[in-house]
């Protein structure tokens, strides 16, 4: 598996999954006190942005460079760190180096 098909999908459509995050996920997160979150396979960053807008610090990871480029272009939120990496092998950075 490589990122080629995902790169093509994110290059072909502005929001292949829609622009709003899943309401069920966001309602669960609303009940939590904001802290740090990891959005693995973040795609265009819609969930990462919603979490950051709710006060979370987010590490957003996707193996598609195109998806990360789209995500970075949609937002300048300083509470999101976007990374191109494979979720199967990605390791979180040392907590002192996140931000």
Q: What CATH number does the domain containing 63 carry? A: 3.40.50.150
Amino acid 97: pLDDT: 52
Residue range 27-55: mean pLDDT, rounded:
92
* Cα 34 to Cα 57: distance, rounded to the nearest angstrom: 8
Amino acid 62: pLDDT: 95
In this structure, of 1-5, 29-33, 36-40, the range with the lowest mean pLDDT score is 1-5
| The pTM of the whole model exceeds 0.75 | yes
Q: Which domain holds residue 6?
A: 1-13+34-89
Number of structural domains in the chain = 1
Is 98 among the domain residues?
A: no
Residue range 57-84: mean pLDDT, rounded:
89
Structure tokens at 93: 């950075």
* Cα 16 to Cα 91: distance, rounded to the nearest angstrom: 27
* Cα 95 to Cα 42: distance, rounded to the nearest angstrom: 20
Amino acid 59: pLDDT: 94
Is 28 among the domain residues?
A: no
Structure tokens at 6: 């995902």
Is 76 among the domain residues?
A: yes
Amino acid 21: pLDDT: 83
Amino acid 19: pLDDT: 72
């Amino acid at each position: 598996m490589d990122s080629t098909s995902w790169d093509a999908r994110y290059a072909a459509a502005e929001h292949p999954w829609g622009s709003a995050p899943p309401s069920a996920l966001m309602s669960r997160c609303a009940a939590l006190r904001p802290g740090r979150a990891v959005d693995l396979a973040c795609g265009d960053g819609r969930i990462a942005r919603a979490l950051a807008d709710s006060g979370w610090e987010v590490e957003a990871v996707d193996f598609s460079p195109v998806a990360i480029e789209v995500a970075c272009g949609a937002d300048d939120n300083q509470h999101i760190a976007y990374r191109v990496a494979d979720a199967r092998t990605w390791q979180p950075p040392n907590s002192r180096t996140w931000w």
